Amino acid sequence: MPPSGSQSLTDRIQAVAPTIQMLPVRTPTLPPATHTNTFLVGTGEAVVVEPATPYREEQDLMVEWVQAARLKGVEPVAILATHHHPDHVGGAMALRERLQLPLWAHAMTAQRLDGIVEIDRLIQDGERIDLSGPTPTALTAVHTPGHPPGHLCFIDEATGMMIAGDMVAAVGTIIVEPTDGDMLLYLESLRKMSVIEPSALLPAHGDVIQQPQAVLSFYIEHRLMRERKVLEALEARGKPSRPRHLVAQAYDDTPKALWPLALQSIEAHLIKLEREGRITKQGDRWS
C-alpha cells in the first residue's frame, strides 16, 4: 500500500538493506501508482537517488530525511536521477538547492532537461561511484535505454540490489511510447539487467521485487506476447493499418479505459517490427 500523507518520516522510511533506505514520496505519476520511491544509499558517504517530487511538503520530508541522516554521520555527496520524466525529477532543482548537493545524470537525460534542470555531472554506463563508510559500498551505473534514452539503473555492490527506476514496476505497468521510448532497446535493456543477476530490484513504483529473474523474464515474455498479438492483428486486417485499427484485437485482454495508453505501445511495437524488416510502413500506416 502507498504511504499515507499523514505518516511520520520514521513510519515512511524503509530500511531495505544495511546500505539502502527507501522513502516513497507522492508524485504526479501514472495510476495506479501514486508515489515514486527515493533512495539513500551509503553508511558514511552516500547518494540520494530520484529527486522525484514536485510537492513542497514531500520535499520537506526528503530534506528532513537527509538532515536526520547527516546527524548520524551519513553525508550525501550527490543526487542521482535515473531519467528525465517529471515523476523522477520533479524536485530536482529544489532539492539541489536546499540540500546543497550536485545533480548527476546520464548525458541523454541532461539533453532532455536542458534549460529546465541543471545537471552538474554526467554519469557514464559502467561508472562506479565509491561510497566509504562503516559498511563501504559502491554504486555501478547501468545504462538501460528504452523507456527513455538516458535511463540509468544502479547496482549496490554491498547487497547486489539494483535500483531499477522505471524499467520494471511492482505496481502498474511500464509504458514504452513511440517518441521518447524504443521497444527494441527496452527489450535489450531488460536482457542486460537479467544477465547482471541482481539480488533484488528496487523499482520506482511499488515494493521491493525479491524475485528479479522471474520478473525480468515475465516482462520480456509479456512484451514478446504483445508483439505477436500486434502482428496477428495486422495480418488479420490484411491492409495497411494504424495502431487504432489494431488495438481491439491486440489488447482484447485489457480494459478499454487503458486503450489510449495501449495505442502508444502498439506504435512502439510497430516501429520495432519495421526496424527488424518484418513489416513495412506506408505513410502513417503499417502492413
Average pLDDT over residues 244-262: 95
pLDDT band at 171 (very low <50, low <70, confident <90, very high): confident
Let me know the angle formed at the C-alpha of 185 by 184 and 189, rounded to the nearest 5 degrees.
125
- pLDDT of 126 over the 80 cut: yes
- pLDDT of 196 over the 90 cut: yes
> What digits encode the pLDDT tens for the residues 12-37?
999 999 999 999 999 999 888 999 99
Domain boundaries, the chain: 9-210, 222-286
Cβ-count burial 182-197 (b if 16+ within 10 Å, e if not):
bbbbbbebbebbbeee
Query: Nine-digit cell at 5?
Result: 500523507
pLDDT score of 167:
98
pLDDT score of 4:
54
pLDDT score of 157:
98
pLDDT score of 42:
98
For residue 138, the cross-strand partners are 130
pLDDT score of 8:
82
Average pLDDT over residues 45-61: 98
- pLDDT of 172 over the 80 cut: no
Fold of 9-210: Metallo-beta-lactamase; Chain A (3.60.15)
| Single-letter residue type at 285 | R
3-state SS class at 103: strand
**What percentage of the chain carries pLDDT values higher than 90?**
93
Average pLDDT over residues 78-84: 98
Spatial separation of the C-alpha atoms in residues 257 and 260, rounded to whole Å: 7
pLDDT score of 2:
60
pLDDT score of 6:
57
pLDDT score of 5:
52
> What digits encode the pLDDT tens for the residues 133-142?
999 999 999 9
Least confident of 103-112, 167-176, 179-188, 232-241: 167-176
pLDDT band at 7 (very low <50, low <70, confident <90, very high): confident
**What percentage of the chain carries pLDDT values higher than 70?**
98
- Computed over every residue of the chain, the mean pLDDT equals 96
pLDDT score of 278:
97
pLDDT score of 200:
98
- Identical fold at 9-210 and 222-286? no
Q: How many residues does the chain have?
A: 287
For 136-196, what is the HEC assignment? CEEEEEEECCCCCCCCEEEEECCCCEEEEECCCCCCCCCCCCCCCCCHHHHHHHHHHHHHH
**What is the pTM for the complete model shown?**
0.95
Average pLDDT over residues 232-242: 96
pLDDT band at 254 (very low <50, low <70, confident <90, very high): very high
| Single-letter residue type at 170 | A
Of 74, 50, 65, the C-alpha closest to 154 is 50
Q: On the CB side of 154, how many CA atoms lie within 13 Å of its CA?
A: 30
95 and 80 Cβ atoms separated by less than 8 Å: no
pLDDT score of 3:
67
Spatial separation of the C-alpha atoms in residues 125 and 142, rounded to whole Å: 5
| Domain 222-286 class, CATH top level | mainly alpha
